[in-house]
Chains A and B, each alone.
Chain A
Amino acid sequence: DQQVKQNSPSLSVQEGRISILNCDYTNSMFDYFLWYKKYPAEGPTFLISISSIKDKNEDGRFTVFLNKSAKHLSLHIVPSQPGDSAVYFCAASAQDKIIFGKGTRLHILP
């Protein structure tokens, strides 16, 4: 039973445009939602998080939106840059555990 779902295995976006990565979850008890970024042959790196009591958090080019009623969050990257090409993991935290999604591979096209 997947508690955190990323339904798009991959996404291609033109450089300079907006990238939108989506994530759905099932557990209402999650208190933090997270995005991690992973390059090949490296471990995931923490990117941005949002508390369950907020609906938006912004950090430079990265913004995470949380819609609790729909149990949905999204990561917006604008403008997209070549270095953003990576696998992005959506994750959620509750009771000192992190549950990860399967990841979405983002390709930034020149």
Chain B
Amino acid sequence: SAVISQKPSRDICQRGTSLTIQCQVDSQVTMMFWYRQQPGQSLTLIATANQGSEATYESGFVIDKFPISRPNLTFSTLTVSNMSPEDSSIYLCSVASGRYHEQYFGPGTRLTVT
């Protein structure tokens, strides 16, 4: 299993600003994922971030709004840009073990936009 940490654990931000969330893994992994969980909703995949290539975004998510960096095999960042109250969510990163569907999640970043 992998141990994943995220920073910050929570933040309150004003609309129109941007927040960068960091995800650190204790081992080298190829595939990292970013999810969003809006209040009362399921986890929704934002993008898949593989080291050495551009992130692959899911329908409804765009790079200008959620730019992702993946500089090495243990670290990734997700930026939530030009925030609005609708971006208030928990943002989680995860990594896949040997099998894609067995993912290990970080503790999440709880974002509130006012």
When A and B form their complex, which 9 residue pairs have the shortest distance between CB atoms, in order from nearest?
A43-B105, A93-B101, A100-B42, A100-B43, A102-B42, A32-B101, A44-B105, A46-B102, A43-B107
Cα distance A91–B44 when bound, in Å?
A: 11
Whether A49 contacts B107 by the Cβ 8 Å rule is no
Interface residues of A in 16-38 (CB under 8 A from B): 32, 34
Q: Are B42 and A89 in contact (CB under 8 A)?
A: yes
27 residue pairs A–B, Cβ–Cβ below 8 Å: A32-B101, A34-B101, A41-B9, A41-B107, A42-B108, A43-B92, A43-B94, A43-B106, A43-B107, A43-B108, A44-B43, A44-B92, A44-B105, A45-B105, A46-B103, A46-B104, A49-B101, A49-B102, A89-B43, A97-B45, A98-B101, A100-B42, A100-B43, A100-B44, A101-B42, A102-B40, A103-B42
Chain B contacts of A103 at CB under 8 A?
A: 42
By a CB distance below 8 angstroms, the chain B residues around A91 are 101
Cβ proximity bits A52-76 to B, threshold 8 Å, 1 near / 0 not: 0000000000000000000000000
Q: How large is the interface on A (under 10, 10 to 19, 20 to 34, 35 or more residues)?
A: 20 to 34
Give B residues with C-beta under 8 Å from A.
Answer: 4, 9, 40-45, 48, 58, 92, 94, 99-108
* Chain A residues within an 8 Å CB radius of B41: 102
B58 to chain A, nearest CB (A): 8
Q: Is A108 an interface residue (CB 8 A)?
A: no
Roughly how many angstroms separate A97 CA and B101 CA in the complex, as a whole number? Answer: 8
Of B4, B45, B100, B101, which contacts A43 at CB under 8 A?
B4
B42 adjacent to A4 (CB under 8 Å): yes
Interface string of A96-110 (1 = CB under 8 A from B): 111111110000000
